[in-house]
Structure 1
Amino acid sequence: MQAIKQLGQFLAPYKFFTIIAPLLMVIEVTMDLIQPTIMQHMIDTGIANSDNAYVLTMFGWMLGSAVLGLVGGIGCSYFSSKAAIHFASDVREALFEKMMTYSAKERDAFTTGKLITILTSDVESIQRAFMMTMRIFVRGPLLFIGAVVIVFVTARELFSILLVIVPILIIAMYFFTRYSGVLYRRVQEAIDGVNTKLQENLAGIRVVKAFRREQQQVDQFGELNETLTKRFISAEQIVGLLVPITMFVVNLGIVAALWLGVIKVEAGTLQVGVILAFINYLTIILNGLMSSSMVLMQIARAIPSGERIIDVLNKEVAVREAENAVSTKIQGAVDFCNVSYRYYNTAEDVLKNVTFSVKAGQTVGIIGKTGSGKSTLVKLFPRLFDPTSGEILLDGKPLKDFALPTLREHIGFTSQKALLFSGTIEKNIRIGKDETTIEQLHHALDAACASEFVEKLEDGMAHELSQGATNLSGGQKQRLALTRAFVRQPAILVLDDTTSALDSASEKHVQQAVTSNFTDTTTFIVASKIASIQQADHILVMEDGEIVGQGTHQQLLKDNEAYQAIYASQQKAGEQL
């Protein structure tokens, strides 16, 4: 219920729609309820007495009530649809906005597949429940209550039949509604598993094909799909039982009404029209209960979805902005003071007491074996996650004191894996700086050695990239990722092994561009080759999460064994140093 209450806040902008829709439904229900009574009078007064004028009058009333009910029904559908769709749209937007604030810790806690399910299937579920509530859940109870009251007033001789049938129907409805909620929660969990497996395999399809594991993945997906199928069947079978059981009980009521009615008609205590009206009202009661039960089942299905949505919206984000965050211009001086970091699902620090200082405008090279913590270290600059212990200073102020938008606007970041989005090349580059001029775009493309292939494309920068930029080579993607960082003209530039897919000539061109175009920028270059960083002002040598040496290239060659070993191995391998 807490989830429903919190989600109700998204209805505030659409109060008018949520009020007018049920009111229009009341009009439709009222018209539906009076028609059997009009028919009863038409039979017992008009037809029984051969009063054609009275019959025509009643016919006019029936026709008028039908038209007015139609207007109410159409209006309710229009406004309820508008409210429900806008409500769901706002919830989706809020979810996406929240997910964009998540660090890797929160994303891994939910899993990507589950987040996709929540953003799509769960939101659709609560949208449908809300729409049905405004349309049917108003109609169902009103039909039920109204029919029961009218029967009590106009056909009290047959009212005892309702005293038996109605409790049976309500108990059945309660049981099926409650049990269906449990079953549909398990269905949503199975959908999470299917979506996760689908997302993993679509993202890693090349690896699957390269290792010829298609059949294995198909079998694994089949197991998850089979689980989903079984859970769906169980849920739908339970829901499906409600309709025939309810119809059976109502049909028994109709038989009882006819039997009792015949007896009373023969005794002269009941008229035929009353029996027909009672059967119509019994059908209305059935429809009211059935529609209400369907809505309750949809609500029972939506409650777990609502809880999952609220879990996402209320999830505490690990990386938060300080209350009095500063938005001053960043120069780029960086100090690490005994910084350690441990991934949330590991027991060992991947960074251990890292300490170093960098002046604004310096170029820093970071080198070490795979898994030594190089990439983890540079991800701390834009606060993709925060240190477990220790402190990072930026221009002498704690990194956490800076407003996140300000901090990240001053950092140009390129990751090991070049990630581009579907859309044009120009849109991808403008992610770095939206207000960039065309001249600046071309300058950044030249600096990243990307102009040579972009200019050969038929549409140039208007060339459309597929999802994941699979229509580009690895080197082309890296060059566009570099362009995106260069166009920002940042105070801090982070190049995380982003020239690994470039040839030596292109890499040298990029290094020269960084040296000449970013003289006031503090640049961090993560590399596996000494040739990529030997001109740096300061080099950090990392091993098992620790800095085991720092200094210039010449100083490290003279004094540091780890750096000497890397140099010797690369020299032996024939790399250009």
Structure 2
Amino acid sequence: MKKLLHYIRPYRFFAILAPVLMCIEVMMDLLQPTIMQKMIDTGIANQDNGYVIKLGFIMLLSAVVGLIGGAGCSIYAAKAAVHVAADIRRDVFKKVEQFSNHNTDSFGTGKLITITTNDIESLKQAVIMTLRMFVRGPLLFIGSVVIVWFTARELFPVLLVSIPILIACIYLFSVKSGKLFLNVQKAMDQVNTKLQEMLAGIRVIKAFDRNEYEKNHFKNVNHLLMKRNMSAEQFILTLMPIMMFIVNIGVIAGLWMGVIKVNEGTLQVGVILAFINYLNIMMNGLMSSSQVLMQIARSFTSADRINQVLESEIDITEPEQPISVPEVRGEVEFRDVNFSYSKNGNYVLQNISFKAKAGQTIGIIGSTGSGKSTLVKLIPRLYDPESGAILIDRVNVKDIPLEKLRTAIGFVPQKATLFSGTIEDNLRFGKDEATKNDLEQAAGSAAASEFIDRLEDGFAHPLLQGAANLSGGQKQRLAMARAFIRNANILILDDSTSAIDALSEAMVQQALKQDYSQTTVFIISSKISSIRDADQIFVMKDGQIEASGSHEELLINSKVYRDIYASQSGLEVVNG
């Protein structure tokens, strides 16, 4: 929590004003029983109606002042808490944006969503309750104890017994509640993860008729969340009856002792009534304090999870001493590169070495899991190799500023990811200052003009979340257009034509030859037809480059390549 306190500094005026206004409300509340005592013992006992009316007016005035103080406290406490939560959410989002793929994988998307929503909301509630209730509760309690000491000392022994019991209950419940709500947050992570998976794969679920299976799976994680929530809430709610029982015992003891004192003539009736009121005020003060303590205990868990994100060490960082690269030409070299996702020596890529000259087209082919996509993800530093070096224009990519490096690369991922907004918004994701002509040229190169021109809104056509209103092939073509519009000197196409027809693919290949002849192009594909005209073709097998060369050379020198060719063309190639 200490590490997050600096977020409240910009709003310290609100954070100071709220407790001050709460002090005013508490003072007015503490006045009420004393005024009532005077009204009974002096005004009513002496039948002084003028005195009773005067005190009644003072009670009304103090209630109004207390109302103003309480309302003002609530307003300014909420302002401080909401701003603090917004700033934390902004920084968490900014940090997550900087995450490497490995950082994101280590948390899991479901947990990151829970942290950005539930955990920050829990922290916001803790700030509000701290600025409001945590001031009110202790002040009511301490003020009541002091007033009883001076005005009803004969009944003070009741407090000496009941108060320690109440405080012990609050402490035990607060400690236990923190542990219970940690389990609740973990269960919430599972629900968010499952919900995200279900929404992302809804078409697959329906296609395989797995609705009932997914319902049951979600039912299980939802039931776990319900059980943990129920345990936490039931445990907390039992505190109120216990405290009420202790207070009621104190009221009975106070009345019993008070009646004895009244009969002895050492105590007045108004004092007993005031004592009972102050005892209830003490209970309310302790109760509100206990609620705050339990919310704070709950927020400790949330604060820890938030700090895990904010203090995460980013795997992919800016170079300490960046090398100025005036313009990236596009020469790419791998030197003995090894890479492992798990960082445990189980390499996905092993001893990868090659050199691609600027302007060359490199084709990469291989079976599923051979490391094709992983290899090209290392170029824009979506991951960093465990050993070896990747150089662009003879400069290690780790020494090039990230913005400079990634601006020089047009990347089309294996899964065409588009965002809600218009088609134009998505294309400008590649180049914000793109002109209308740039949009049209990029769409034409990606064979996307064919369907964009048929849309009533053209480039202004709105896309749903995940571009759910487009086909797979249309998504791929827009993803390619988004990369083409950058006019980058390095272009990476990761199996980007798998969902488009042969005619559209031929148009894309023709555009690559004509419009991007000076660009270093990496084409990852499972189809030989997509890469057969490449200057170099790398055949991947088990994380290694099994063979390299032109299409004709590989038909002679690579058995793996010949087998792929035979399976796709139906023609058997005889070596030699």
- TM-score for both structures, normalised by structure 2: 0.96
Secondary structure at 2:185 match in 1: helix
Structure 1 counterpart of 2:46: 49
Question: Secondary structure at the residue paired with 1:436?
Answer: coil
Q: How many residues align?
A: 572
- In the alignment, the residues of structure 2 paired with residue 474 and residue 413 of structure 1 have an alpha-carbon distance, to the nearest angstrom, of 18
How far does residue 347 in structure 1 lie from its aligned partner after superposition?
4.8
Letter in 2 for 1:223: N
Amino acid in structure 2 at the alignment position of 1:473: S
Which of 163, 166, 170 is equivalent to 1:169? 166
Give the superposition deviation at 1:521: 1.7
Cross-structure match for 2:552: 554
Residue in 1 that maps onto 2:146? 149
Cα-to-partner distance string for 1:250-299 (whole Å, 9 max, x where unaligned)? 11111111111111112111111111111111111011001011111111
Matched-pair contact (CA < 8 Å) for 1:415–1:498: yes
Matches within 5 A, 1:95-494: 95-328=92-325, 329-344=327-342, 347-494=345-492
Q: Deviations over 1:400-449 (max 9, x none)?
A: 01111221111110011111112211111111111111221111111111
* C-alpha separation in 1, matches of 2:280 and 2:571: 87
CA drift of 1:535 comes to: 2.0
Distance 1:273 1:109 in 2: 65
Which residue number in structure 1 is paired with residue 89 of structure 2? 92
How has the CA–CA distance of structure 1 residues 270 and 573 changed in structure 2, closer, same or farther, with 3 Å as cutoff? Answer: farther
In 2, the alpha carbon distance for the partners of 1:121 and 1:62 equals: 42
Separation in structure 1 between the aligned mates of residue 9 and residue 497 of structure 2, nearest angstrom: 51
Please identify, of 430-439 and 459-468, the stretch whose mean Cα deviation from structure 2 is larger.
459-468
- Structure 1 residue 85 displacement after superposition: 0.8
Q: Secondary structure, in 3 states, of the residue corresponding to 1:31?
A: helix
Aligned to 2:98, what secondary structure does the other structure show? coil
Distance 2:227 2:526 in 1: 50
In 2, distance between residues paired with 1:195 and 1:562? 43
1:191 alignment partner AA: M
Residue by residue over 1:81-103, the C-alpha shift from the partner in whole angstroms, topping out at 9 and shown as x without a partner, is 01111111111111111112222
Cα displacement (A) at 1:558: 4.0
Q: Which amino acid aligns with 2:440?
A: H
8 Å CA contact 1:327, 1:406 repeated in 2: no
CA contact (8 A) 2:170 2:290 kept: yes
Larger deviation, residues 104-113 vs 286-295 = 104-113
Does the 8 A contact of 1:360 with 1:522 survive in 2?
Answer: yes
Q: Distance in 2 between matches of 1:490 and 1:106?
A: 27
- TM-score, normalization: structure 1? 0.96
- On the 8 A contact 1:7/1:306 being kept in 2, the answer is yes
> Are 1:544 and 2:526 an aligned pair?
no
- Partners of 2:38 and 2:521 lie apart in 1 by 90
Unaligned runs of 5+ residues in structure 1 are none
Distance in 2 (alpha carbons) for counterparts of 1:459 and 1:326: 45
Amino acid aligned to 1:422: S
What is the aligned counterpart of 1:496 among 476, 494, 499? 494
Give, in whole Å, the separation in 2 of the partners of 1:301 and 1:255. 35
| Whole-angstrom CA distance in 1 between matches of 2:482 and 2:121 | 36
Say which is worse superposed, 473-482 or 423-432, in terms of deviation: 423-432
Q: Secondary structure at the match of 1:456?
A: coil
**Distance in 1, Cα, partners of 2:324 & 2:141:** 61
Q: Residues 91-121 of structure 1, C-alpha deviation per residue, up to 9 Å, x if partnerless?
A: 1111111112222322222221111111111
Alignment RMSD (CA, Å) = 1.7
1:62 to 55, 59, 80: 59
Task: Work out the CA distance in 1 between the residues paired with 2:344 and 2:566.
Answer: 33
Aligned equivalents of 2:398, 2:101: Cα separation in 1: 18
Contact 2:565 2:571 in 1 (8 A): no
Aligned mate of 1:7, from 4, 19, 26: 4
